Amino acid sequence: MAGAVRLEPVGEQNLEPLLSVAAAEAEPDDVMPPVEAPAGWSLARREAFREFHRASFGGLDGPTRTQMFAILLGGEVVGMVRMTRCDQPGTVETGMWLGRSARGQGVGAAALRELLVEAAGAGMRAVVAETTRDNPGAVGVLEKCGAKLRDEGGKVHAEICLDSTPPSR
Protein backbone atom coordinates (compact mmCIF):
# COMPACT_ATOMS: atom_id res chain seq x y z
CA MET A 1 0.00 0.00 0.00
CA ALA A 2 1.50 3.37 -1.00
CA GLY A 3 1.17 5.86 1.87
CA ALA A 4 -0.89 6.03 5.02
CA VAL A 5 -4.68 5.71 5.22
CA ARG A 6 -6.50 8.58 6.94
CA LEU A 7 -10.16 9.53 7.33
CA GLU A 8 -11.54 13.04 6.89
CA PRO A 9 -15.21 13.92 7.49
CA VAL A 10 -17.04 14.39 4.18
CA GLY A 11 -17.77 18.09 3.62
CA GLU A 12 -17.81 20.59 0.76
CA GLN A 13 -13.98 20.58 0.71
CA ASN A 14 -13.69 16.93 -0.35
CA LEU A 15 -17.07 16.31 -2.00
CA GLU A 16 -15.93 17.03 -5.58
CA PRO A 17 -12.79 14.85 -5.29
CA LEU A 18 -15.00 12.09 -3.85
CA LEU A 19 -17.44 12.43 -6.76
CA SER A 20 -14.56 12.35 -9.26
CA VAL A 21 -13.28 9.05 -7.82
CA ALA A 22 -16.78 7.56 -7.73
CA ALA A 23 -17.53 8.57 -11.33
CA ALA A 24 -14.16 7.39 -12.67
CA GLU A 25 -13.70 4.22 -10.65
CA ALA A 26 -16.94 2.89 -9.16
CA GLU A 27 -20.47 1.84 -10.07
CA PRO A 28 -23.31 4.10 -8.91
CA ASP A 29 -24.89 1.14 -7.08
CA ASP A 30 -21.74 0.67 -4.98
CA VAL A 31 -21.66 4.27 -3.75
CA MET A 32 -25.21 5.66 -3.46
CA PRO A 33 -28.86 4.60 -3.29
CA PRO A 34 -30.65 4.09 -6.63
CA VAL A 35 -32.14 7.22 -8.22
CA GLU A 36 -34.31 7.71 -11.29
CA ALA A 37 -31.78 9.12 -13.73
CA PRO A 38 -30.23 8.16 -17.06
CA ALA A 39 -27.83 5.22 -16.74
CA GLY A 40 -24.21 5.79 -15.73
CA TRP A 41 -22.76 8.94 -14.24
CA SER A 42 -25.27 11.36 -15.81
CA LEU A 43 -25.49 14.98 -14.59
CA ALA A 44 -28.62 14.10 -12.61
CA ARG A 45 -26.85 11.22 -10.85
CA ARG A 46 -23.84 13.42 -10.03
CA GLU A 47 -26.15 15.98 -8.43
CA ALA A 48 -27.96 13.21 -6.52
CA PHE A 49 -24.55 11.99 -5.27
CA ARG A 50 -23.80 15.48 -3.90
CA GLU A 51 -27.20 15.78 -2.21
CA PHE A 52 -26.94 12.25 -0.76
CA HIS A 53 -23.66 13.21 0.95
CA ARG A 54 -24.76 16.72 1.98
CA ALA A 55 -27.72 15.16 3.80
CA SER A 56 -25.22 13.61 6.25
CA PHE A 57 -23.11 16.70 6.93
CA GLY A 58 -24.86 16.84 10.34
CA GLY A 59 -23.13 13.60 11.38
CA LEU A 60 -24.34 11.04 13.93
CA ASP A 61 -26.75 13.50 15.56
CA GLY A 62 -28.06 14.93 12.28
CA PRO A 63 -31.14 13.84 10.35
CA THR A 64 -29.55 10.75 8.75
CA ARG A 65 -27.69 9.75 11.97
CA THR A 66 -24.71 9.10 9.68
CA GLN A 67 -21.12 10.29 9.75
CA MET A 68 -19.36 9.87 6.41
CA PHE A 69 -15.59 9.96 5.99
CA ALA A 70 -13.52 10.36 2.86
CA ILE A 71 -10.77 7.70 2.81
CA LEU A 72 -7.43 9.31 2.01
CA LEU A 73 -4.45 7.30 0.79
CA GLY A 74 -1.23 9.29 0.71
CA GLY A 75 -3.37 12.44 0.91
CA GLU A 76 -5.59 11.54 -2.11
CA VAL A 77 -9.30 10.74 -1.78
CA VAL A 78 -9.83 7.08 -2.78
CA GLY A 79 -13.22 6.19 -1.29
CA MET A 80 -15.71 6.60 1.54
CA VAL A 81 -16.54 4.83 4.81
CA ARG A 82 -19.54 5.70 6.97
CA MET A 83 -21.10 4.88 10.31
CA THR A 84 -24.83 5.15 11.00
CA ARG A 85 -26.43 5.09 14.45
CA CYS A 86 -28.57 1.97 15.01
CA ASP A 87 -31.62 1.87 17.26
CA GLN A 88 -29.61 -0.25 19.69
CA PRO A 89 -27.70 2.22 21.89
CA GLY A 90 -23.91 2.29 21.47
CA THR A 91 -24.08 0.59 18.08
CA VAL A 92 -23.33 1.92 14.58
CA GLU A 93 -23.64 0.21 11.22
CA THR A 94 -20.83 0.67 8.70
CA GLY A 95 -20.41 0.50 4.94
CA MET A 96 -17.64 1.51 2.56
CA TRP A 97 -16.42 1.68 -1.02
CA LEU A 98 -13.10 2.28 -2.74
CA GLY A 99 -12.22 3.29 -6.28
CA ARG A 100 -11.12 0.24 -8.31
CA SER A 101 -7.45 1.21 -8.40
CA ALA A 102 -7.32 1.35 -4.58
CA ARG A 103 -8.82 -2.12 -4.01
CA GLY A 104 -6.94 -5.27 -3.06
CA GLN A 105 -4.02 -3.57 -1.27
CA GLY A 106 -5.24 -3.55 2.32
CA VAL A 107 -6.76 -0.05 2.14
CA GLY A 108 -10.25 -1.30 3.04
CA ALA A 109 -9.03 -3.04 6.20
CA ALA A 110 -6.94 0.00 7.19
CA ALA A 111 -9.93 2.33 6.64
CA LEU A 112 -12.22 0.12 8.74
CA ARG A 113 -9.63 0.12 11.55
CA GLU A 114 -9.65 3.94 11.45
CA LEU A 115 -13.45 3.89 11.50
CA LEU A 116 -13.33 1.70 14.64
CA VAL A 117 -11.17 4.36 16.29
CA GLU A 118 -13.73 7.03 15.30
CA ALA A 119 -16.62 4.91 16.56
CA ALA A 120 -14.91 4.28 19.90
CA GLY A 121 -14.18 8.01 20.15
CA ALA A 122 -17.89 8.70 19.63
CA GLY A 123 -18.66 6.42 22.59
CA MET A 124 -19.80 3.40 20.59
CA ARG A 125 -19.42 -0.15 21.88
CA ALA A 126 -20.14 -2.12 18.69
CA VAL A 127 -19.86 -1.71 14.92
CA VAL A 128 -22.07 -3.91 12.76
CA ALA A 129 -22.25 -4.48 9.00
CA GLU A 130 -24.22 -6.49 6.50
CA THR A 131 -22.89 -7.97 3.27
CA THR A 132 -23.14 -11.13 1.16
CA ARG A 133 -20.80 -14.09 0.56
CA ASP A 134 -20.47 -13.06 -3.09
CA ASN A 135 -18.50 -10.01 -1.89
CA PRO A 136 -15.24 -11.63 -0.71
CA GLY A 137 -13.56 -8.22 -0.41
CA ALA A 138 -16.12 -6.98 2.11
CA VAL A 139 -16.14 -10.29 4.03
CA GLY A 140 -12.31 -10.29 4.06
CA VAL A 141 -12.09 -6.73 5.40
CA LEU A 142 -14.56 -7.53 8.19
CA GLU A 143 -12.71 -10.74 9.13
CA LYS A 144 -9.36 -8.96 9.20
CA CYS A 145 -10.81 -6.40 11.61
CA GLY A 146 -11.96 -9.10 14.03
CA ALA A 147 -15.66 -9.24 13.14
CA LYS A 148 -17.84 -12.12 14.30
CA LEU A 149 -19.75 -13.30 11.21
CA ARG A 150 -23.19 -14.91 11.14
CA ASP A 151 -24.85 -16.21 7.95
CA GLU A 152 -28.62 -15.76 7.82
CA GLY A 153 -31.10 -15.63 4.95
CA GLY A 154 -28.42 -15.24 2.27
CA LYS A 155 -26.80 -12.35 4.12
CA VAL A 156 -23.68 -12.14 6.26
CA HIS A 157 -24.16 -10.19 9.50
CA ALA A 158 -20.94 -8.93 11.05
CA GLU A 159 -20.32 -7.52 14.51
CA ILE A 160 -17.16 -5.98 15.91
CA CYS A 161 -17.22 -5.46 19.65
CA LEU A 162 -15.17 -2.41 20.59
CA ASP A 163 -15.00 -3.38 24.29
CA SER A 164 -13.17 -6.65 23.68
CA THR A 165 -11.19 -5.71 20.54
CA PRO A 166 -9.57 -2.34 21.06
CA PRO A 167 -8.86 -1.02 17.56
CA SER A 168 -5.15 -0.81 16.74
CA ARG A 169 -3.78 1.88 14.46
Ligand X SMILES: CC(C)(COP(=O)(O)OP(=O)(O)OC[C@H]1O[C@@H](n2cnc3c(N)ncnc32)[C@H](O)[C@@H]1OP(=O)(O)O)[C@@H](O)C(=O)NCCC(=O)NCCS
CB-nearer residue toward ligand X: 73 or 124: 73
Q: How distant, in Å, are the alpha carbons of 68, 106, 114 from that of 124?
A: 16, 24, 14
Please classify residue 96 by burial: count the beta carbons closer than 10 Å to its beta carbon, then call 0-12 exposed, 13-18 middle and 19+ buried: buried
105 binds ligand X, rule: CB under 6 A: yes
**Distance in Å, CB of 89 to ligand X, minimum:** 24
C-alpha span between 43 and 115 (Å, rounded)? 31
Q: Give the burial class of 23: count Cβ atoms within 10 A of its Cβ; 0-12 exposed, 13-18 middle, 19 or more buried.
A: middle
Site for ligand X contains 162 (CB under 6 A)? no
Using rule CB under 6 A, residue 97 touches ligand X: yes
**For ligand X, which is the closer residue by CB, 48 or 128?**
128
* 128 binds ligand X, rule: CB under 6 A: no
Q: Give the CB-nearest residue to ligand X.
A: 140
What string marks each residue from 40 to 69 as x (binds ligand X by CB under 6 A) or -? ------------------------------
- Out of 62, 89, 123, 137, which residue is the one contacting ligand X (CB under 6 A)? 137
> Nearest to residue 127, comparing CAs of 62, 82, 79?
82
Length of the chain: 169
Residues in contact with ligand X by CB under 6 A are 30, 95-98, 103-109, 131, 135-138, 140-141, 144
